[in-house]
Amino acid sequence: MNNMTIKKVLFSLMFLSSLSMMSQELGKITGKVSLSGNVSAENVSVVLKGTKYTAITNEHGQYEIKNVKTASYIISISAVGIHPVEDRITVTAKQTTIKNFMLSESQEDLDEVVITKNKYKQDKPSLSLRLQTPILEIPQNIQIVSAQTLKDQQIISMSDGVIRNVSGAVRSEHWGDLYTNIKMRGSQIQAFRNGFNVVSSFWGPLTEDMSFVDHIEFVKGPAGFMLSSGDPSGLYNVVTKKPTGITKGEATVMAGSYDFYRASVDLDGKLDKKGKLLYRFNAAAQKKGSHRPFEHNDRYVIAPVISYQFDDKTKITAEYNFQYANMTEIGSFYVFGPGSDGYATLPVGFTMTQPGLPDTNIQDHSGYLTFEHKFDDNWKLTAQTSYFKYLQEGYSSWPSAVGPDDNIAKGKVIRRVGIWDADSNMYLGQIFLNGKFNTGSVTHKILAGVDLGSKDYMADWGQGHNLDTVDSPFDLYNPNYGTPSNGLPNFDHTTPLSIRAKAAGGLMNTNYAAGYIQDELGFFENKLRLTLAARYTWISQASWGDPAIADSHITPRVGLSYSITDSFAVYGLYDQAFIPQSGVILSGEKVKPLTGNNTELGIKKDWFDGAWSTTFSAYSILKQNELTSDPLNQPGQMYSVVLGEKRARGVELDLRGKIFDGLNIIANYAFTESVVLEIDPLVSETSKIYKGDIVPGYAKHTANAWLNYSIQYGTFKGFGASIGGTYLAGRLTDNWGTGLEKLPNYFKLDGGLSYDTKKFKITANVFNILNEYLYSGSYATFLKSYYWQTEQPINFRVGVTYKF
């Protein structure tokens, strides 16, 4: 052995010896972080102050810090939404120091930090709903679709299967992936984003991409008394992602059937050492084809958020969301059948769209500025303002004639393309105060605030062009997708939109101001809760280029909730709604605001220490002056008629949560029935809508289920499987068309597999496993034809997520 070899051996022995000595001087820290009620606190930051030693709690609230030098430290536990806790801890060589923490919540609305008992159930609404009460105690049916639900089901947009997670929700006319248009309890519900009503016309807003969405709250029944004007059937509130104060990130790539490719990234962290300046950044890019040829829908999204915590009391948050959609013309997904033959008479992938038409482009901008100030632990002021900008340049398609009629044979169609350029601006503001105090043994939770808003929408849909001629129509049985017989359109996009929209009658404007106050009184140690509220709303509205009309209304709200046990509550609710409407009545009659009364009774129950929950509700909604599309509309006409009085009744059952470790479930059922109670005789005679008629646009019976199981221990830990189904019976068409054929019952089966290593997660889902011909549609009276939109045959998505 030469000298060099001996030196290498000695050096190695000395190095190993030093490592051994070093390891003998190191210790380990473990523990569990819990919230009050022994709820595990996930994603909480654990830091030894002034050192590099950090950890994040897992789903069980557990943390571990290895190889810590022997010394005394200050250990700090922190996360957005909880009071930070610090304590002194001493690390001893070769020993494990156990340190557990019980945290108290800093506020009752933890919308910015995900601390849940399981991945499918959330116990409290977001700050943007303004309520400071757990869902179990709120006298109303509120269902929350969690972030993990969106991931497990590979939901990519608001119109991509979200409603399967909520009882009684169905999509109206589908509109592809452009507008969500959800109906619930017999009417189309309002679309909200971060507590703002973002509906500027019947067709908006652009459906949200899930890359910047944290979770979605469905509020059954009216909440217009505090959330600007809202339909008495309910609303959905999209809550966007906010900084959590925890440095983390994830990147996801997905691919699937029909040329579907998608990539997204989510970055979350701190911009300063003290953790006062936080950020969140989300972005996504998507290329998406279709089972119908020549059709696509591509998306690009960026969504940065910055928040600054001035001190323990004051925080400001600035957020911007941008969505860009590039898609085939609106309406490309509809197919019109040959005359009155009925639905689904053409192949599932059949299309009537014309290749070569320019794409439709949409830009959706939204910005938010939120100021939060806590006066003390009992009183908090929130002020937020937002600006929404929607720009659309493109086309829509709808036939002008379907044979056998209008001098064309059966199976022949004259396709028509119209311009659809639009511009929408919304300026919205809110300021509200949450407070708590006692008067003797009675507790009070106060909510008071003011809403202000200005909405403008203008659109040019006044230019149209027939692609085909009577002598050379489009043949449904032998389609020719070459240059159409009448050529492609050449519309005027250069004249200012304001001029074109005025000529087309496409001007809408709404201004409103409102104030509200609510007091939730708690009796008998808050076992009995009485909610008293009222809202004053003033609205000025101009529709379709007509002069503005103004009106005002006071809407009261009374709710009662009683906790039989800590996990079992019953409730009753009476509420009213008042919302403006847009439309033109053929007779020239002025459009009045919609008013409504809602009565609801319900039972809520949390099971097994809150692991899963059930909600049962029964309701009756009476609405006056509601507009609906005139069934006698000819192509290009958009007249409405007034339903004098309409009543919706039904029952709903929702179940969600963790049945046992590894098995999570979402299941729901709803029975819905909506009928016309009163209608003007003149309207009835001309529109053929009669007292007692069933209102279209929903299903009498809806049932959904989604089960997910993941192996918790052993060799196959991390493997999971999912199965889910949707069943609709008694489906009503989407308009008052007088076709005799009814929509058939609907059943869709989905399922998937997953593997999660905590750093990597692979998810694969198969949709429409049974390869059913699935569709929705209606009857076009003046075209004397059934039309429908098909869903994809059996298809799949595979995604890989990397967490860092």
pLDDT for 110: 37
Contacts of 565 (CB under 8 A, 6+ apart): none
- Which of 31-35, 438-442, 731-735 ranks highest by mean pLDDT? 438-442
Of residues 77 and 529, more confidently modeled: 529
Q: Which tens digits make up the pLDDT trace of 691-714?
A: 888 888 889 999 999 999 999 999
Q: Are the C-beta atoms of residues 168 and 183 closer than 8 Å to each other?
A: no
What whole-number distance in Å separates Cα of residue 274 and Cα of residue 277?
8
pLDDT of 751 strictly over 90: yes
131 residue type, one letter: L
- Percent of the chain at pLDDT exceeding 90: 59
pLDDT of 34 strictly over 90: no
What whole-number distance in Å separates Cα of residue 78 and Cα of residue 83?
7
pLDDT of 326 strictly over 50: yes
Over the range 251-280, which residues count as b (16 or more CB within 10 Å of their CB) and which as e? ebebebbeebebbbbbbbbbeeeebeebeb
Q: Which tens digits make up the pLDDT trace of 630-651?
A: 777 765 566 777 777 889 999 9
Cis preceding linkage at 404, omega within 30: yes
- Please give the model's pTM, rounded to 2 decimal places: 0.84
Q: Count Cβ atoms below 10 Å from residue 781 Cβ, excluding itself.
A: 18
pLDDT of 614 strictly over 80: yes
* DSSP assigned state of 716: T
238: nearest Cα among 304, 145, 121:
145
Q: Are the C-beta atoms of residues 232 and 240 closer than 8 Å to each other?
A: no
Of residues 327 and 679, more confidently modeled: 327
What whole-number distance in Å separates Cα of residue 257 and Cα of residue 259?
6
What whole-number distance in Å separates Cα of residue 131 and Cα of residue 277?
26
56 residue type, one letter: I
Token pair of 697 as six digits: 């646009």
Over the range 430-441, which residues count as b (16 or more CB within 10 Å of their CB) and which as e? bebbbbbeeeee
- Chain centroid to Cα 401, Å, comes to 37
- Mean of pLDDT values over 390-419: 92
Q: Count Cβ atoms below 10 Å from residue 548 Cβ, excluding itself.
A: 12
Token pair of 651 as six digits: 């029952």
Q: Are the C-beta atoms of residues 594 and 229 closer than 8 Å to each other?
A: no
pLDDT for 106: 39
- Mean of pLDDT values over 88-109: 76
Of 29-33, 108-112, 540-544, 781-785, least confident by mean pLDDT is 108-112
pLDDT of 67 strictly over 90: no
- Percent of the chain at pLDDT exceeding 70: 90
Q: Are the C-beta atoms of residues 726 and 747 closer than 8 Å to each other?
A: yes
HSE (CB half, 13 Å, CA atoms) of 661?
A: 7
What whole-number distance in Å separates Cα of residue 59 and Cα of residue 42?
5
- Mean of pLDDT values over 752-774: 96
What whole-number distance in Å separates Cα of residue 776 and Cα of residue 731?
9
Of residues 105 and 594, more confidently modeled: 594
Where exactly are the structural domains of the chain? 3-103, 248-803
Q: Which tens digits make up the pLDDT trace of 242-268?
A: 998 888 999 999 999 999 999 999 999
286: nearest Cα among 252, 320, 319, 332:
252
Q: Which tens digits make up the pLDDT trace of 478-488?
A: 999 999 999 99
* DSSP assigned state of 152: H
Q: Are the C-beta atoms of residues 258 and 57 closer than 8 Å to each other?
A: no
How buried is residue 36: exposed, middle or buried, by Cβ count under 10 Å (0-12/13-18/19+)? exposed
What whole-number distance in Å separates Cα of residue 259 and Cα of residue 795?
11
pLDDT for 49: 87
Three-state secondary structure of 13-68: HHHHHHHHHHHHCEEEEEEEEEECCCEECCCCEEEECCCCCEEECCCCCEEEEEEE
Write the CA distances from 710 to 122, 358, 663, 722, integer angstroms. 20, 46, 7, 9
Q: Are the C-beta atoms of residues 224 and 539 closer than 8 Å to each other?
A: no
262: nearest Cα among 254, 251, 273:
254
pLDDT of 8 strictly over 90: no
pLDDT of 19 strictly over 50: no
How buried is residue 427: exposed, middle or buried, by Cβ count under 10 Å (0-12/13-18/19+)? middle
- Chain centroid to Cα 799, Å, comes to 21
pLDDT for 111: 37
Write the CA distances from 153 to 60, 267, 729, integer angstroms. 23, 22, 23
pLDDT of 115 strictly over 50: no
pLDDT for 798: 98
pLDDT of 143 strictly over 70: yes
CATH fold, domain 3-103, is Immunoglobulin-like (2.60.40)
Of residues 734 and 610, more confidently modeled: 610
Write the CA distances from 496 to 460, 465, 491, 493, integer angstroms. 10, 20, 13, 8
Of residues 281 and 199, more confidently modeled: 281
Q: Are the C-beta atoms of residues 45 and 35 closer than 8 Å to each other?
A: no
pLDDT of 113 strictly over 70: no
- Mean of pLDDT values over 503-520: 92
Q: Which tens digits make up the pLDDT trace of 283-323?
A: 999 999 999 999 999 999 999 999 999 988 999 999 999 99
CATH number of 248-803: 2.40.170.20
pLDDT for 584: 74
Q: Are the C-beta atoms of residues 412 and 473 closer than 8 Å to each other?
A: yes
Q: Which tens digits make up the pLDDT trace of 772-783?
A: 999 999 998 888
Q: Are the C-beta atoms of residues 68 and 29 closer than 8 Å to each other?
A: yes
- Mean of pLDDT values over 389-416: 92
